[in-house]
Structure 1
Amino acid sequence: MSLTAVNNVVHLPLRSAVLRGLLAGLIAGLLAGGVAYFTGESLVDQAIAIEEAGAATHSHDSTAAGHSHGTEDGPLISRDGQRAGLFLATSLTGGSFGVLLAIVWFALSRKSGHGSTTLSVLPLAGAGWTAIAAVPWLLVPPNPPAVGATETIDYRTNLWVIAVLLGLAAVIIWFVVRRWEESRPGSSVVLKVLPGLTAAAIVIVGWQLLPDSGTDYNGFPADLLWNFRLASAATQLTLWLVLGVAFQFLLERKVLRH
């Protein structure tokens, strides 16, 4: 596939867009992994220490009461293995989001009638961050290892998926209402803020209807919980910000070469 440049507008084939999105996503994933490592790994270690101390206390109490449950199995993957796998996980996540972002960007650029590289990536990356990271973070905040029972993992994962769907719905509704508002001549101030208000209403109603996770925070340090959530937010923000900037840079670099 070749690029055709007409009037300084470069029409990028889907394959080229996807490859650039993939590369941008891998870069973003590596940097996000670095943020997660330096801001969150020590917090995870603290949470694991609390979890192990609680398990040891429970085991001691059970033994004193005359109940023996045998030796607890260790983790399937060591902490060193988990630390190494962190960068692999964030890179794969970034690459996947990069491909999805490239496909959405390509489809919208063609639908809008603009040349591929004239449609800014940054608003799309911001929409992806809002739907997939920000809204779920608000509705179903991430928790460190020691918080939440193992048997409720599937339930909590389902709640997170619902939160992502709510985020996607809010972004889509915002886009649809904004297009409708822009099509009306001489829109009032009320109509201009209507897209944001509608999206916010979707999130708020979904938050009210979302079932409680039933997570027990009793005895867990509030500052450790909050710092872990901030580290998670910083990781997601880094991922989407770098993804948008890197993808935009790769597109503009292609324009400069033509």
Structure 2
Amino acid sequence: MNAISPRALLIRGMLAGLLAGAAAFLVAYLIGESKVDAAIAIEEAAAHGHDHGEEAPVSRALQATAGLGTGVLLYGVALGGIAALVFAFALGRIGRFSPRATAALTTGALFVTVTLVPFFKYPANPPAVGDPDTAGRRTALYLLMIALSVLLAAGAVILGRRLAPALGHWNASVAGGGAFVAAVALAYVFLPGIDEVPSDFPATLIWQFRLVSLAIQATLWATFGLVFGALAERLLVPAAASREAVKEAVQPTN
């Protein structure tokens, strides 16, 4: 199976990412934009009486449609390409799983490391929450959390594979997973926290916005895993079957 060119998987990963981005855009537009509008209304109400002579260079309607769609689609294509390359590396190295199962496992692992782990430390905030002067620092910490999560996950996989001969695959996997959780917990403790939510900002709106943000990411990754798994299966399984047929054809008969 690994004889398939990574380029073929990359193209299918980007296509699956495009479709996943479209699904995520629908979720963001249908249930997410209302939360953004509510947060913007609170921000404008708090700034009432200040100078509003300058208009936004891009209208809110354009931001919520073309701007949002373009951003989410590009994000999906980029993540799809990266996930496809991770899949190409993992195929056949994490066990004797089918391409579809490998895609599901790879996508799930990426969702946990790239989305869930950073989200629980630095969750998304709606507009009007956060000091603009600390935006660079907050972004850097978020990216650092993603990098740490990916490195810790890779370390947990390596640990599990080295423990497998002595403990067995199941116990080694549990040990690797436990080490990952413990290391992430330490990272949560030592990395600085960020709490810039105004005291008068509605807690319900923040909670809803964060749930929607998580739903968008879950939709993106779930759609990608399903679509890419199907595309990878169609690419790899016929290729493997044809190679087996060729081997049988050239084998001498008794």
Residue 48 of structure 1: aligned partner: 40
Distance change in 2, residues 1:119/1:109 (3 Å): farther
Aligned to 2:150, which of 142, 154, 168? 168
Structure 1 residues 179-194: aligned runs within 5 Å:
179-186=161-168, 191-194=172-175
Q: Distance in 2 between matches of 1:176 and 1:122?
A: 20
- What's the offset of the Cα at 1:157? 0.7
Say if 1:33 and 1:87, in contact at 8 Å, map to a contact too: yes
Q: Distance in 2 between matches of 1:198 and 1:80?
A: 46
Count of aligned positions: 238
Gap runs ≥5 in structure 1: 1-8, 60-69
Q: Distance in 1 between matches of 2:53 and 2:182?
A: 47
Q: Distance in 2 between matches of 1:96 and 1:194?
A: 32
Distance change in 2, residues 1:26/1:14 (3 Å): same
Q: Distance in 2 between matches of 1:100 and 1:192?
A: 24
Residue 180 of structure 2: aligned partner: 199
1:134 paired with 2:116, answer yes
Aligned to 1:213, which of 194, 207, 211? 194
Q: Distance in 2 between matches of 1:115 and 1:210?
A: 37
Gap runs ≥5 in structure 2: 243-254
Aligned to 1:150, which of 132, 152, 166? 132
TM-score by length of 2: 0.85
User: What is the identity, as a one-letter code, of the residue corresponding to 1:168?
Assistant: V
Q: Distance in 2 between matches of 1:192 and 1:102?
A: 23
Deviations 1:103-126 (A, max 9, x none): 121123366797994871111111
Percent identity, aligned pairs only? 34
1:121 paired with 2:113, answer no
Residue 210 of structure 2: aligned partner: 229
Aligned to 1:75, which of 56, 62, 78? 56
TM-score by length of 1: 0.84
Deviations 1:155-206 (A, max 9, x none): 11111111111221232122112212322255785x5521121111111111
User: What is the identity, as a one-letter code, of the residue corresponding to 2:163?
Assistant: E
Residue 251 of structure 2: aligned partner: none
Q: CA RMSD in A?
A: 2.5
